[in-house]
Amino acid sequence: MKYNSFYAKLYLNLQSINQILFQNMIIYSRNRRLRTNAAIRALVQETTLTTSDFVMPIFVMEGINRQEPISSMPGIFRRTLDLTVKECQELFSLGVKAVNLYMKVSEDLKDNTGKESWNPNGLMQNTIKAIKDAVPGMVIMPDVALDPYSMYGHDGIVTNGKIDNDATNESLVKMSVSCAEAGADIIAPSDMMDGRVAAIRTGLEENGFTDVGILSYAAKYASSFYGPFRSALDSAPVDNQDVPKDKKTYQMDFHNSREAIDEVLKDVAEGADIIMIKPGMPYLDIVAKVREAIDLPIAVYNVSGEYAMLKAAAQNGWLDNDKAIIESLTCIKRAGADMIFTYAAKEAAILLNQ
């Protein structure tokens, strides 16, 4: 009791001394002064989100005048080419000036080479041409990877039970050149094969496409957040004992961050014009580290799983949909992104325009 009483008295004495010392103290620095009202907050706002920051991923399927909802991604559809063009026109009118294209390929066109991906009359090539004709100012970024065209659902060619890196690069070059011939502005290889940026850059240069850019998925992780996307294209790896069961031999291990810097620097050296980091919000530490390491533009992919989680929470009344969309995209830009690939691009553009 004596011990407790001593410290109680000491505490009271210190409190009295503090009151004497600081009762007339002026707080000269108050952060709250710059939060007083909306106008002041806008003046000192460090990060601004605009419609020009967005790239809208688009799913295209064969047929005419049809669209199919993707159940795990509310508000997102697979559309036929004619409706895709109309969607691109609407996006452009809202201020979204770039699209990222993905094809849902019929099973009879899939094989282990991905040869349909460089068919000059294929769905991808016809889609690029149609969008360019209808919306000449739209920046078109076709996804370059073999998984939608692969009978195995992998981004590369399977040889003896493994992904054949170098053979895959040859196919990626053919696909890239074919997309450039159709009118693509920027090639977006998402496959994560080693050396493919240099191979694609060489292929583009040799065929006269010196102005076609490369947006390299330099730090793409083997993530569990891709599930809704793979269901949208039926492009998940097949359950077959003769092929890898997942993509972990070529996509990055989510435990690693230093490796991401190494991947990025190699792609920069090989001629990439823009660097992609994927996924987005769970990997903002990677975005910030890469931003410190390079001066090239950085793209960040706000992936299907991130979108689906937000929508599910909003539908259950756990989040305010509109506020959460704008906040999440602003956080990605604040971390260092120059552009954001997001399924919420159209919705966010409408909100920002309001």
Residues belonging to the active site: 220, 278
State yes or no: 263 annotated in a binding site.
Answer: yes
Q: Are 332 and 91 in contact (CB under 8 A)?
A: no
Contact 119, 129 (CB under 8 A): no
* Rounded distance between C-alpha atoms, residue 93 and residue 90, angstroms: 5
Cis before 279 (ω within 30): yes
Give the orientation angle of helix 81-94 with respect to helix 123-134, to 10 degrees. 40
Cβ-contact 293, 58 below 8 angstroms: no
Amino acid at 75: G
> What is the phi/psi pair of residue 201, to 5°?
-60, -40
Task: Give the integer Cα–Cα distance in Å for 306 and 228.
Answer: 10
Measured distance CA(148)–CA(341) in Å, rounded: 19
Q: What are the binding residues for Mg(2+)?
A: 263
